[in-house]
Amino acid sequence: MTRNSLLKPPRISSITQLRGVRIARGGGQIRRLDVRRYMVRSQSKLIWYNVTWCKRFWRCDCPFNTKTRQTCKHIYAVLNRISETETGPPARFGAEPCPSCGRHEPVVRRGYYKSRSGLVQRYQCKRCGVKFTARTGFTGMKYNASLITAALDLYFKGLSLRSITDHLNQIHGLNISHLTVYRWAKKYVRLTARFARRLKPCLSKTWHADEMRVRVDGQPRNLWNLMDHKTRYLVAVQITRRKGTREAERLLTNGLRKTGLHRLDVISDGLGSYDRAVRHMRKNGSLPRIRHHTDAGLSKRKSNNRLERLNGTSRERLKTMRGLDNDRSSRKFAEGYATYYNLIRPHSALGGKTPSHAAKAWKAKGTNRWVSLIRDST
């Protein structure tokens, strides 16, 4: 009889495990009742099976586990969900690199350990003997990566903090404070934004520049955006009090630092600060040759409608937030939303790719782009 104890992982059948992974990767197949109880949907009938942790074993009320006492695909689906292996069936070797020596080959599984959010997969390096877990970027967190990244995704999709906590309460049965969700957003926005600043995207020679009016503590501010024409990649963002020549020149300079372009075409609206900033930068001669084009209308080739669409998306998010509190938090929000737009949000005009994928800067490894981004940022 196969044992699936807490300390020692069971010997598994590759076919049964693969079926469990497919169940875990499918949407709406697993329901979490609490730490010890799950419900898994049957793949052949319109019923749900109960998967329960009984002291040292996982038990399922499906006919296969009830008769043979062997690990069924429903238990493997729960174990896959808990251990957060979302990129495919976990391999026996090389599932996670050793944090000490950085090697993959001598790494083996060493069971699970119980945390407040459930069971977490443990690994051990046979070369140096170091034991570690696969929760890179989520160490010390009370809740698992799937729950945290779901809250982050809902936050940047436009839901308010209290709407997110209500969703987590209804769907997952967890009573989480809205301040907890806000702290998650602050922590991982700071982490991922630092990673995004190190990326080197491959951009085209045509950029769009525009500014929009926002409210910060009741006072008017200007949110500047600089976007690549081909990949829709946000090259630079900033929030300023004024919208003069100095602010426009700073926006273009920050964007040019990330590229090695020798010629650049900038399309903007009719604001005169852009034209004066381009002329001033042209006189210096240290930067690439820049040509400025004013928006010729939505139906024309040199229109600024791509960036205007981004401004509409930003306004929808700011409307839910009821404005920004101070200048510091507004800058953090602008940088975090640019990271979400470039690395997480897919674009229909790019064939479902993110701007960072289209610009060959970064590509997610798996279906959960948030988990992949946080692990790479760590």
Residue-level pLDDT, tens digit, the chain, 378 residues:
444 444 344 444 568 888 888 898 777 889 888 778 899 999 988 999 999 988 778 899 999 999 998 889 999 888 877 765 333 333 343 456 677 787 766 777 777 666 555 556 678 888 888 887 765 677 777 787 888 999 999 999 989 999 999 999 888 778 899 999 999 999 999 999 999 999 999 999 999 999 999 888 888 899 999 999 999 999 999 999 998 999 999 999 888 887 777 788 999 888 889 989 988 888 876 567 888 888 766 556 678 888 888 888 888 888 777 777 788 888 888 999 999 999 999 999 899 999 999 999 999 988 889 988 998 898
Neighbours of 223 (CB within 10 A): 23
Q: Are residues 219 and 343 in the same domain?
A: yes
Do the domain assignments include residue 331? yes
Number of domains in the chain: 4
Q: Are residues 74 and 127 in the same domain?
A: no
Do the domain assignments include residue 199? no
What is the rounded CA–CA span in Å between residue 271 and residue 292?
Answer: 11
Q: Are residues 219 and 357 in the same domain?
A: yes
Q: Are residues 25 and 63 in the same domain?
A: yes
Q: Is the dihedral of CA 96, 99, 102, 105 positive or negative?
A: negative
Q: Are residues 67 and 103 in the same domain?
A: no
Q: Are residues 83 and 41 in the same domain?
A: yes
Residue 117, domain CATH: 2.20.25
- C-beta of residue 78 within 8 angstroms of C-beta of residue 51: yes
Distance of CA 342 to the CA centre of its chain: 10
Do the domain assignments include residue 178? yes
Q: Are residues 343 and 301 in the same domain?
A: yes
Do the domain assignments include residue 196? no
What is the rounded CA–CA span in Å between residue 145 and residue 153?
Answer: 12
Q: Are residues 160 and 178 in the same domain?
A: yes
Q: Are residues 66 and 120 in the same domain?
A: no
DSSP class per residue in 303-365: --HHHHHHHHHHHHHHHHHTSBSSHHHHHHHHHHHHHHHHHT--BGGGTTB-HHHHTTS---S
Between 327-343 and 178-196, two packed helices, what is the crossing angle to 10 degrees? 70
Q: What pLDDT sits at residue 96? A: 61
Q: Are residues 322 and 222 in the same domain?
A: yes
Classify burial at 175, counting beta carbons within 10 Å of its beta carbon; exposed 0-12, middle 13-18, buried 19 or more: exposed
Q: Are residues 227 and 350 in the same domain?
A: yes
Do the domain assignments include residue 195? no
Do the domain assignments include residue 310? yes
Q: What pLDDT sits at residue 112? A: 67
- Domain limits for position 68: 1-90
Do the domain assignments include residue 224? yes
Which tokens sit at 43?
Answer: 């793949």
Q: Are residues 327 and 302 in the same domain?
A: yes
Do the domain assignments include residue 194? no
